[in-house]
Structure 1
Amino acid sequence: MHQKIKVLFRHRSMEMGGVERVLLDLLENLPRDIFDITLLLTIYQGELRTEIPADIQLISIQKGREDMSKNPILRNLQLLKRSFTLWFYRKFPKALYKRFLNQHFDVEVAPGYSDFDPVLDSPIKSKKIGWFHTDVSYDPDQERVMGRINALQKFDWTIFGSRQTREVIKDLYNITYPKSSVIYNAIKIEEVRIKAEEFPVQYDLHPVFSSMGRLHSRKNYHTLMKIHRRLLDEGFSHSIAVIGGGGEMENLKNQAKELDVEKTFLLLDSQINPYPYIKNSDYFVLPSESESYPLTIGEVMGLNIPIISTNVGGIPEMIDHNIDGYLVSPDETAIYEGMKLFLSNPEMVSKMKSNMEKAVEKFDNQKIYDEVTAVFVSQHQTK
């Protein structure tokens, strides 16, 4: 019997997000007869932490906020202790590996840019693989961009989440990655369809545009809200339901109050199962300024909900414009025109829904798992 390849995934925590969903999918589907998999979480925190497959060896460095004291003084002391502990292990990675791992790994994986330094600083002689899902052209912080681009060059192999993610680095910075490949994220359409039927959702005002994403400024929900107000003022009755939590929540709540759209621009926060909210909407809108290859697009296509999306990142690799979705520039006027078209042209939307039924055949998950397996195996063999 051949010896299994020992793989270590490093990640910060399991809050609801695209990288976390990709990570969970890989943990669930990579072949167990080839790999012995360990997940090291910096913090055991987040809505998705309970979804980690039971046969994965799970190690966490510190406990999450969910498991801390409700007493504010004790809680602050626990957070202070946690910060110091994590600082210490960042400074002395050998101590971290000796305390929590104390074993050899053949391959270490950073599934997102927040995991680059922990994997690259690893004291063991493993093959290091970095995953990159981010469109660097929309980040104004050039120091941060160059830090990530340079870190990617230090990995033994880099996996990019879309062609555009890799090509934009070459176009803007003339930097190439000969030791890399493009592997799309797997999209679990059948699973999404089942989850979408788990409970009923009723909206007070149709038609409804649903949307899903972390509430960050680059997701552009502040702009979407302005467009919503503008369309209402022009007599286009509709509502918008945004599924997702994050740092922009308070700003968006305040903006909704200022624009008097609190009853029609619904901020639904993070949901463990967001799919019934999407399934029971009429359209889906993704207003982001930057994306890589968002799982959400394929999932929504699987639910047969017509999509308006900004033409950024790897999205045009997923949507054929005006055939199985509608692509617009990531600016207020273009998104407004697209939404207005959906609200006023039911024939076009109906045709799109029909085309979408065949479009989901684009997403071949087994091919993706085979490609990831091939990368891990080939890197192990070149040691």
Structure 2
Amino acid sequence: MKKKLLFVISQFYKGGAESALLNLFKLLDKEAYEVDFLVMNQMPAENAVSLIPMVPSWIRLCDVFQENLNYPLPKRARGRFLYTIPQKDEFPRPALDFVFGKQYDWAFHVGEWYTPVFVAREVNAVHKAAWIHTDLSKASYFNAKEYFRYDDAVDSYIFVSQNALKSSVEAYPLMKEKAAVIYNPLDLPELRKMAQEPTEDVLLETKRPIVLTVANIRTEKGHLRQLEAMRILKQRGVNFTWLNIGSLAYGPLVEKVREQAKAYGLEKDFLLLGSRSNPYRYMRYADAVAVLSDFESWSMVITEAKTLRVPVIATRTAGALEQIVHGENGILTDFTPEDIADKLELLLTNEELRQKIRDSLTDFDNTTEIVESFGRLVSKEELSGLEKDILFVFDDVNYPSGAKGAALHQMDALQRAGHKVAVFSGTEPNLELRMRLPEVRFYGWHSIQKNRWFNSRVLAILLDRSWTATEKMEKLTCSFRPAADKQQQTFRRYVMGEAQKLFGQFKTVCVVSEGSIWREDVANCSAQKKIQWIHTDYSAWKNFSDWTRHITKDDGQIYQKFDTIVLLSEQIRNRFIQIYPQLASRTKVLPNFIDQEEILQKGQMRSEKPFPPVHFVTVGRLSQEKSLMRLLKILYGLKEEGYRFHWDWIGDGPEWNDAVEKIQKLDLTDCVTLRGAHRNPFRYVKNAQVFALLSSYEGLPNTIYEAFVLGVPVLATAVGGIPEQISQGKNGWLAANTEKGIRDAIVHILENQNEIERFHENLQQYHYPNEMIEKELNELFEC
């Protein structure tokens, strides 16, 4: 049975990546493949050669730009009922029409210069791949943040050289498990035929040596560096003609190159010929082909020159290092104009060297190997790295909470123990998180097919052959239930029902937050083990607000379906059991990890000089439970009484504006500073004398342990598990959770500053028990 393939590219004008794709099309067996080719934006481009007319006729091609020019009215009317507003806003209708209702075996997004959003969102394919034609670690134009937004949809990243793969994976480790190499192919018969076509260009009649560069005029292709090298050689008396074939579309750079050539007196020697549909007849006459880019993945020009047995000089890019053995089948040079000049002079003046290189290039042909490697890729039915072992479930994995930080450390420990860890999140993980967890597979709404079904137009479901008759009937039935409550019932039945099936594919599912919207769905899934993590003092939090009372009203029934409920301290566990005594046997105490090395390292970074006589710092979100407003009222009273202190608050949140206003109103700007969120709060903690956490409720806050690691004593309210963390009179002070209790504790510190230094000395040997926690964590996750 034929494999159904889709290739999507932005434009199809002559260039390295485009030529490689055209060659692949010509080499594919039409008896083995059905190929669709979608060109998204082939706008007219001056001095550019379109490759669209050369696409084999058996390939179904959609030139979206041309189709859009004459898009018929009936199709426009149909599209109004077929596509959602976001689809119509983001993608041209002909592109949506072209892939609508089709099921592909493989869909390929070609190019790293634009994002794979269309293939990721709009194409229905068993496997999806992104074809990358450069070394991503060097490509300044590469937008990693946007490109990797769609990493979850990509099964394979295809590179065109091993070196480019290696460098790119070192820069972006999240690609490691998905990376593969398929070298750029050549259409050898056509190449050799085109090279023999006659040319009447008088430029080729010169008796001087000819150096040829085939590259569009772009900064990274190094044309200005070529001019510097040519100037050096002219000063040495080495005369030759340097022909440059490639698009002149980037006007400002083209003008700069021409001005530089004129300034060096090379305007008659360094020639910009623009695009040529057949550069190979020029290549046949060249004494050397120069590929002097800042970076290349696998240069088509080097391969073409080698095929025509023309010596190549190339900068040491990732691709060139793989394509050329210096002095054997080409010449490698550093990136400086001086070294380029030295190596080019050697090549142009040494006929024996040039002949040696030509002789080594006899019968160069790797076409069969490339076609076979492509065939092996698309023949894969299953891809590696899909084992479903442990799933962590987040509402928003990007939200910077203590629970998230704890979960990240837990995932690290589980991976060290050999587990395969995955994450489900209601939001797309950002690039920073993907880089932090390169071996973690992410799931989300895109993983739930019924979510696409729910959000699609009725007509789209009815006409799309990929949906079953039952699903079409369900969609039609649901469309007659416009009321919000009916829609909610439909969503819970179909979409959340499929989410439960996804969760059930994992051996162990862990819900990261006690407030998660996914708790009930995890509770009802069929996973072998279900774990709920509670990161706060549940007994205080449960009744803290109308929202917490609402979302916890059914917790007694929900948690009955969990195997383990993890709490952070014995006191928090005891208070939880008082509410749900029937769950006592399911509870377990397990503190969070602390990254001692990172805390100590970041704590050494310098901050502002501490404020005498006592410098307090708080690291926490500006939200109601952290009770900043209560603290400001207390500090106002202390300042009025003549006490001296300074208080830094690191963090932001919904109370920011109110806090700023109150600080100004109470005239506390000289002794209270809101510093906002910081990636490294530890430098502020290290430079403080006392760390303070005066919340209305807490779990077992990591920030207290982090302060201990840095040798800073802690003042905290006696809520949650904090009394288990602070040893009164040894490493800190406990305050009653009242205005009077907090005020008295602060006054005690201000009047007994000798205790600060004594507690600091006590903390010098502090060590957090990560080893014990990791051992218990692994025991917990063993099924």
**TM-score interval w.r.t. the shorter chain?**
0.7 to 0.9
TM-score by length of 1: 0.82
Q: What displacement does 1:5 show?
A: 7.1
Distance 1:171 1:230 in 2: 38
Matched ranges for 1:114-125 at <5 A = 114-115=515-516, 116-117=518-519, 119-120=521-522, 123-125=525-527
Partner SS state of residue 177, structure 1: helix
- The Cα offsets for residues 278-320 of structure 1, whole Å up to 9 and x where unpaired, read as 1112211110111111100010011111211111111111111
2:575: which partner in 1? Answer: 168
SS of 2:665's partner is: helix
**Contact 2:616–2:692 (Cα < 8 Å) also in 1:** yes
Partner of 2:419: 35
**Mapped contact 2:611–2:645 kept (Cα < 8 A):** no
Q: Which amino acid aligns with 2:578?
A: D
- SS for the counterpart of 2:760 is helix
Partner amino acid, structure 2, of 1:191: E
Specify whether residues 102 and 242 from structure 1 end up closer, same or farther in structure 2 by C-alpha distance, changes over 3 A only: closer
Distance 1:327 1:103, change over 3 A: closer
| Structure 1 unaligned regions, length at least 5 | 63-84
Contact 1:94 1:122 in 2 (8 A): no
**In structure 1, distance between residues paired with 2:727 and 2:629:** 27
Candidates 510, 533, 554, aligned match of 1:109: 510
The answer for the alignment partner of 1:311 in structure 2 is: 718
Tell me the SS of whatever aligns to 2:566.
strand
* C-alpha separation in 2, matches of 1:46 and 1:203: 35
Measured against aligned partners, the alpha-carbon deviations of 1:243-282 in whole angstroms (never above 9, x if no partner) come to: 1222222221222122121342212222111111111122
Instruction: Find the counterpart in structure 1 of residue 591 from structure 2.
Output: 184
Q: Decide whether aligned partners of structure 1 residues 260 and 189 sit closer, same or farther in structure 2, where only a CA change above 3 A counts.
A: same
Instruction: In structure 2, give the amino acid aligned to 1:282.
Output: Q
User: Contact between 2:523 and 2:558, CA under 8 Å: does it hold in 1?
Assistant: no
Judge conservation of contact 2:496–2:521 (CA < 8 Å) in 1.
no
1:201-350 mapped onto 2 (5 Å cutoff): 201-202=608-609, 207-350=614-757
CA distance in 2, matches of 1:125, 1:286: 38
Partner SS, residue 588 of structure 2: strand
Structure 2 Cα separation of the partners of residues 232 and 31 of structure 1: 51
Q: Which amino acid aligns with 2:422?
A: T
Secondary structure at the aligned position of 1:231 is classed as: helix
Task: Give 1:117 deviation, angstroms.
Answer: 2.2
- TM (norm. structure 2) is 0.42
Quick one: distance in 2 between partners of 1:304 and 1:130? 32
- Report the Cα offset of residue 59 of structure 1: 3.0
- Separation in structure 1 between the aligned mates of residue 504 and residue 561 of structure 2, nearest angstrom: 23
Deviations 1:144-183 (A, max 9, x none): 4443444322212211121122211233554542122110
2:770 to 345, 365, 370: 365
Larger Rg: 2
Q: CA separation of 1:15/1:140 partners in 2, compared to 1, >3 Å: closer, same or farther?
A: closer
Identity of aligned residues (%): 24
User: How far apart, in 2, do the equivalents of 1:261 and 1:87 lie?
Assistant: 52
Q: Is 1:213–1:243's contact at 8 Å kept on the other side of the alignment?
A: yes
Deviations along 1:99-123, one digit per CA (max 9) or x if unpaired, are: xx69821011101113352652664
Q: Deviations over 1:302-350 (max 9, x none)?
A: 1111211111111111111111111111111111111111112122222
Report the CA distance shift for 1:22/1:336 in structure 2 as closer, same or farther (over 3 A). Answer: same
**Could you tell which deviates more after superposition, 224-233 or 130-139?**
130-139
Match of 2:399 among 6, 10, 15: 15
Structure 1 range deviating more: 185-194 or 134-143? 134-143
What is the CA-CA distance between 1:204 and the residue it aligns to? 5.9
Secondary structure (helix, strand or coil) at the match of 2:409 reads: helix
Give the gaps of 5 or more residues in structure 2: 1-385, 447-486
Provide the C-alpha distance between the structure 2 equivalents of 1:94 and 1:176, rounded to a whole number of angstroms. 26
Alpha-carbon offset, residue 212 of structure 1: 1.1
**Are the aligned partners of 2:636 and 2:668 in contact in 1 as well (CA < 8 Å)?**
yes
Question: What is the CA distance between 1:368 and its match in structure 2?
Answer: 0.8
